[in-house]
Structure 1
Amino acid sequence: MDSTHRNLTQQVVHELGKTILQGTYKVGDSLPSEAELCTSFNISRTATREAVKMLTAKGLISSRPRQGIKVLDSKHWNLFDVDVLNWILLGKPDLYMLRSFQQLRLAIETEAAFLAAQYAQPEDLQAIVDALTRMKDATNGQDDTHEADIDFHQSILSASKNPFFIQLKSFITTALKVNLRFTNRHRAVTVEEYQAHVDIFEHVKNGRAQQAYDAAMVTQKATLALIDEQIEQREINH
């Protein structure tokens, strides 16, 4: 596939994927036919067909003869695909998706803290310290709240030395960004939140695996409780 063809295909994939996750097309809705997509994007049938295959592989759509191209339910989406994660961030994830994100974070990041306490190397500990410094600055509005928080959690995943956890950094980063955006988190990191992250680090640094796990569980459950509270409030109002 030459670069021009590939770029055109990727453009179609990005535009359609973003449109689906922004809710323009609902579950079960039909997308335009391949012929209509060719015309709409002014690209070849080959490039269009390749784009449809890519979106199918990502679990967003199904394409069958005489049934056309239809949007699939989110349970079919490849949520670990970097493109899908980015489209979720650009789109409008609901509170239930956000809760699912957080439930997985709770399982992953507590265990990552446990492993980090066992396997973290000096350079890993320094990366966590650097992230904490940014978080401390964020309590005074001197650094970016979101980026500082993300740095910390990425550093813990890296310190776990588990290659599977490390490869989930993109997922965790997107989950954090969605959470921060969805809860309209624009204020600085509070002193209490900063201290909670310091507690995790102290346990990791001193090799206290169970205590690191427990401290991470406290922060993750607190976030999950906020989401559950929003869901409960929404259900009451509806």
Structure 2
Amino acid sequence: MIEAGSLIRSLSGRPAARNFHTFVINEIGLGIVTGRFPIGSILANDAEMMETYGVSRTVLREALKTLEAKGMVEARPKVGTRVTPSSRWSFFDPQVLSWHFYAKPDQRFFESLFDVRGALEARAIALASARRTAEHVRLMKYWLHQMDIAQGNLEAHGLSALEIHRVIADSSGNALLRSVTGIVELTLALALKSLDASTGAAYCRDSLAAHGDLVSAVEAGTASTAALAGSAVIELDNNRAKLLL
């Protein structure tokens, strides 16, 4: 399982594995998403992978079972472990999403990401405008303040923005809408990845303003205004991510 925010924290490099099991999952999963292990190919046998990754058969088998549960591989008797078509992958799995951060930018995939983020967040924002509590508003304002004092620190800015979206999803009262968090984090990380010293300040300024409008509208309970503010936030990230293509 990947922790929320870990992808944004890893902008300067690959995420660190917490144990051998996670390490093997990351290595194989990332290899599949980036094409090092092509779709339809057969992975190396257990002995080879145990030597490659320096793990026991038990650790390797558990890692492959996890990847099979994510729809990325399937084990067949006398054939081996085959990489499955991407149509079978669990794209709402935060770990599967995170591996796409390191893959070659793909226009269709980017469009799909932002389409789904837009649809799910629109509903979350509408519900949050009606169901938010004083505590939800307090948390959103806290993270908005953290965005304000980040002062160009892209990681701090991104993590604070992500927390605002997590609070909105939580305040929607719909547990299933919380699954949008992984997509929000990936799209945020892609937007941040496109920035440099000359463009970061302008993005942070615009993002802060857009999130401020969003938080204010959700607090006021004006769903239509909140929807517009949410669309502005997503469009800002979308325009930045497109620069990676």
**Alignment TM-score, normalising by the size of structure 1:** 0.78
Structure 2 residue 47 is matched with structure 1 residue 73: no
Q: 5 Å matches for 1:18-37? A: 18-37=30-49
Q: How many pairs are equivalent? A: 222
Cα distance in structure 1, aligned partners of 2:241 and 2:53:
39
1:176: which partner in 2? 188
Q: Structure 2: how far apart are the matches of 1:192 and 1:48?
A: 46
SS of the equivalent of 1:14 reads: helix
- Choose which of 106, 120, 141 in structure 2 pairs with 1:95: 106
Mapped contact 1:98–1:178 kept (Cα < 8 A): no
Query: Among residues 200, 204, 212, which one is paired with 1:198 in the alignment?
Result: 212
Equivalent pair of 1:25/1:31 in contact (CA under 8 Å): yes
8 A contact 1:116–1:204 mirrored in 2: yes
SS of the counterpart of 2:113? helix
Query: CA RMSD for the aligned pairs?
Result: 2.8
Among residues 229, 235, 240, which one is paired with 1:215 in the alignment? 229
Runs of 4+ in 1 over 6 A off after TM superposition: none
Task: Tell me which structure has the larger Cα radius of gyration.
Answer: 1
Provide the C-alpha distance between the structure 2 equivalents of 1:44 and 1:193, rounded to a whole number of angstroms: 47
Task: List per-residue Cα deviations over 1:91-145 (Å, max 9, x = no partner).
Answer: 225233333222111111122111111011011001111121122223x437822
Partners of 1:218 and 1:75 lie apart in 2 by: 30
TM-score by length of 2: 0.76
CA distance in 2, matches of 1:42, 1:130: 44
Q: Distance in 1 between the 2:233 and 2:180 partners?
A: 19
Q: Matches of 2:94 and 2:29 in 1, distance apart?
A: 12
Structure 2: segments with no counterpart, 5+ residues: 1-18
Q: How does 1:8-27 map to 2 (within 5 A)?
A: 9-27=21-39
- Of 65-74 and 114-123, deviating more is 65-74
- Residue 144 (structure 2) pairs with residue 132 (structure 1): yes
Deviates more, 1:21-30 or 1:35-44: 35-44
Q: Percent identity?
A: 27
